[in-house]
Amino acid sequence: MRMFVAALGTETNTFAPLPVDRDAFERAFYAPPGTHPSTPTLTTAPVVAARARAARDGFTLIEGTAAWAEPAGLVARGAYESLRDEILDQLRAAMPVDIALFGMHGAMVADGYEDCEGDMLARARAIVGPKAILGCEHDLHCHLTPKRVAACDLIVLFKEFPHTDFLARAEDLVDLALRAARGEIAPRMGLFDCRRIGGGYMTSHPAGRAFVDRIAAMEGQDGVLSISIGHGFHAADVPEVGSKVLVIADGDQAKADALARRIGLDFIAMGRAGIPPHVKPDDVVATAKSHAGMPVVFADRWDNPGGGVPGDGAIMIETLLRHPDIPSAVGVLWDPIAVEFCRSAGAGGNLWLRIGGKSTPVSGRPVDAHVVVRAVTPDLVIPFEQSQVSMGAAAAVTIGELDIVLATKRTQTFSPEAFTQLGVDLSRKKIVVVKSSNHFHAAFSKIAAAIHHLDTGGPFPPDPTRVTYTRVRRPIAPLDPDPVV
In the complex with Zn ion, the residue whose CB is nearer, 4 or 166, is: 166
Tell the smallest beta-carbon distance from residue 439 to Zn ion (Å): 8
Assess contact for 300 and 346: CB atoms under 8 A.
no
In the complex with Zn ion, the residue whose CB is nearer, 154 or 157, is: 157
- Binding to Zn ion (CB under 5 A) within 323-382 occurs at none
Q: Which residue is nearest to Zn ion (CB)?
A: 141
Q: How many residues bind Zn ion (CB under 5 A)?
A: 2
In the complex with Zn ion, the residue whose CB is nearer, 141 or 430, is: 141
- Binding to Zn ion (CB under 5 A) within 138-197 occurs at 139, 141
Residue 140 vs residues 64, 77, 417: alpha-carbon distances, Å = 23, 24, 26
**Which amino acid, 295?**
P
Tell the smallest beta-carbon distance from residue 395 to Zn ion (Å): 28
In the complex with Zn ion, the residue whose CB is nearer, 229 or 396, is: 229
Residue 227: what are its φ and ψ, rounded to 5°? -130, 130
Tell the smallest beta-carbon distance from residue 477 to Zn ion (Å): 21
Q: Is 484 helix (H, G, I), strand (E, B) or coil?
A: coil
- The C-alpha torsion from 253 through 258 and 261 to 263, rounded to 10°, is -110
Of residues 106, 155, 100, the one with CA closest to residue 123: 100
From 137-145, 209-217, 359-367, 411-419, give the range in contact with Zn ion by CB under 5 A. Answer: 137-145
Tell the smallest beta-carbon distance from residue 139 to Zn ion (Å): 4
Of residues 453, 406, 411, 402, the one with CA closest to residue 431: 402
In the complex with Zn ion, the residue whose CB is nearer, 9 or 327, is: 9
Tell the smallest beta-carbon distance from residue 143 to Zn ion (Å): 12
DSSP 307: G
**CA angle 66–148–198, rounded 5-degree value:** 95
Of residues 309, 285, 310, the one with CA closest to residue 298: 285
In the complex with Zn ion, the residue whose CB is nearer, 141 or 441, is: 141
From 49-57, 135-143, 235-243, 261-269, give the range in contact with Zn ion by CB under 5 A. Answer: 135-143
Residues 6+ apart with CB under 8 A from 464: 197, 198, 234, 478, 479
Contact between 439 and Zn ion by CB under 5 A: the answer reads no
Percent helix, strand and coil across the chain, each to the nearest 5: 30, 25, 40
In the complex with Zn ion, the residue whose CB is nearer, 105 or 409, is: 105
Tell the smallest beta-carbon distance from residue 203 to Zn ion (Å): 12
Tell the smallest beta-carbon distance from residue 169 to Zn ion (Å): 12
Kindly list the residues in this chain that would bind Zn ion in the complex (CB under 5 A).
139, 141
